[in-house]
Amino acid sequence: MATKLTELQVKNAKPREAKYTLAGGRGLTLLMMPDGSKYWRLRYRFGGKRRMIAVGRPYPDTTLKQAQAKAAEFRALIDAGIDPGDKRRAEKLAERERVANTFGEAADAWHVFRSKVWDAKTAEQARSYLDKDVLPKLRSRPLDSITPAELGALVSGIERRGAYDVAKKTRQWLKAIYSYARANGWTSADPARDLAAIAQRGPGVKNYVHLSLDELPDFLRALDGYGGSALVKACARLALWTANRPGITRTLRWSELDLDAGLWTIEKGRDGMKRGYYHLTPLPTQAVSMLREVQKISGGFEHVFIGRNDPRQPISDGAIAGMIKRIGYRNRQTMHGFRHLISTALNDKGYEADWIERQLAHGDPDKIRGTYNKAVYLEPRRKMMQEWADYLEALGHKAEVIPLFKTG
């Protein structure tokens, strides 16, 4: 009968020129290597075949007592009809797959998927934020290994530099990426779930600066007297007449205009249009007349308000801001501030809120009631904006503020 192996025997076992084994009982052996390394092995039979499996780490990291306990676990699996060797290989394969499912791969796949419905600007912005703030820290990390605390620290770092809007989007995108990964079976983790609970409140949102109606006469006369680029001046006037977003106005294309019908059509997905909404803008007669004059200058190019140095490109944001500064209204009026000014004026004068909101392109027109016809409130808006343009025209020639008369 073999002598039972003891801890002292394991400790004192010496290497030989060739490897050899010491029996530990019930198939457990200590494999002695010529270099002095000591490995635990369990010999067993499964399905009529002889097999062997490593038990724990080499001695002394795994003691005799620990090796015996682990061997007992393996025997219990064998008795239950499970090959411990097959089980270990399956676990290693699952672990490799888990590690292979990295955050970077999930984020890239999610971005490609979402880009199919995003406009180009949104897709570019999301890619930029991911590449700058998120992926440098998380790209190679397995999805399952990322903790809520880790994501919280990442977003807090963005907040500390004052980029609260970026932090908000990052929280949204982290949740979306993990949701996408779970739906694809890449992870069951949800470390981004509670990020909103620790979100820092940013400074209050400030409206873009804009003048009051009382200040408009002087501004309009200053604008009229501007001696610089006629195209820059025309762009500012069009923004005042239509209330469209600065980026859309500045990059207006001739293909979007039907001057005979007095319409400006912004197709769905247009660059510079918030969320890529479709929008139809009625043009007052003053705008149509001005655009016909501008057509004599830039009608042969893609954009209406062409750049000074490169007519293939539209004028820049800086050109408009520079003009406003030169006529004496720096920090008092901006292009975007025209929208606030117009909204305030039209609401104060009692126009229907739905007309004003649609003129400002707020909300998705496809989700507004009665929008099977894309010309949402077009005729009442045409009348409203014509009255606004007439008001501005009269205001620019008077020292005092005149009433804005609403007839409908």
- How big is the chain by its Cα radius of gyration, in Å? 36
Residue 200 has a pLDDT of 85
In angstroms, rounded to a whole number, what is the distance separating the alpha carbons of residues 115 and 121? 10
Helix 378-395, helix 230-242: angle, nearest 10:
130
3-state secondary structure of 31: strand
Residue holding tokens 């530990």? Answer: 24
pLDDT in tens, 126-158: 898 899 899 999 998 999 899 999 999 999 999
Residue 276 has a pLDDT of 58
pLDDT tens series, the chain, 408 aa: 445 789 999 999 999 999 999 998 889 999 999 999 999 999 999 988 999 999 989 999 999 999 999 999 999 999 999 999 888 887 776 665 554 589 998 999 899 999 988 877 788 888 988 998 999 999 989 998 999 999 999 999 998 888 888 888 899 899 999 998 898 888 899 999 999 888 887 665 455 677 888 888 899 999 999 999 999 999 999 999 998 988 899 999 999 999 999 999 988 877 766 555 788 999 999 999 999 999 999 999 999 999 988 999 999 888 888 999 999 998 888 888 888 889 888 888 888 888 888 888 876 555 544 443 456 789 999 999 999 999 999 887 654 444 444 444
Tokens of 296: 């004599």
Neighbours of 281 (CB within 10 A): 26
CB environment 9-46: b (16+ within 10 A), e (fewer): ebeebeeeeeeeebebeebbbbbbeeeeebbbbbebeb
Contacts by 169-173, CB closer than 8 A, 24 or more apart: 169/126, 169/129, 170/129, 170/133, 170/134, 171/195, 171/196, 171/199, 173/126, 173/129, 173/130, 173/134
pLDDT in tens, 240-263: 999 898 889 999 999 999 999 999
Chain centroid to CA 53: 49
pLDDT in tens, 14-39: 999 999 999 988 899 999 999 999 99
Neighbours of 260 (CB within 10 A): 7
In angstroms, rounded to a whole number, what is the distance separating the alpha carbons of residues 282 and 263? 5
Residues in CB range of 49: below 8 A, 6 or more apart: none
Cis peptide before 60 (omega within 30 of 0): yes
* Phi-psi map region of 54: left, alpha, beta (phi>0 left; psi -120 to 50 alpha): beta
Q: Which amino acid does the sequence have at 372?
A: Y
Residue 384 has a pLDDT of 94
Residue 73 has a pLDDT of 93
| Per-residue CA distances from 124 to 115, 322, 325 (Å) | 9, 27, 31
In angstroms, rounded to a whole number, what is the distance separating the alpha carbons of residues 285 and 346? 19
Active site residues: 245, 274, 336, 339, 362, 372
Q: Is the pTM of this model over 0.85?
A: no
Q: Which domains does the chain have, with CATH numbers?
A: 7-99 (3.30.160.390), 103-198 (1.10.150.130), 213-395 (1.10.443.10)
Residue 111 has a pLDDT of 93
In angstroms, rounded to a whole number, what is the distance separating the alpha carbons of residues 87 and 299? 74
| Per-residue CA distances from 236 to 99, 218, 226 (Å) | 55, 15, 11
CB environment 217-254: b (16+ within 10 A), e (fewer): bebbebbeeeeebebbbbbbbbbbbbbbbbbbbbbbeb
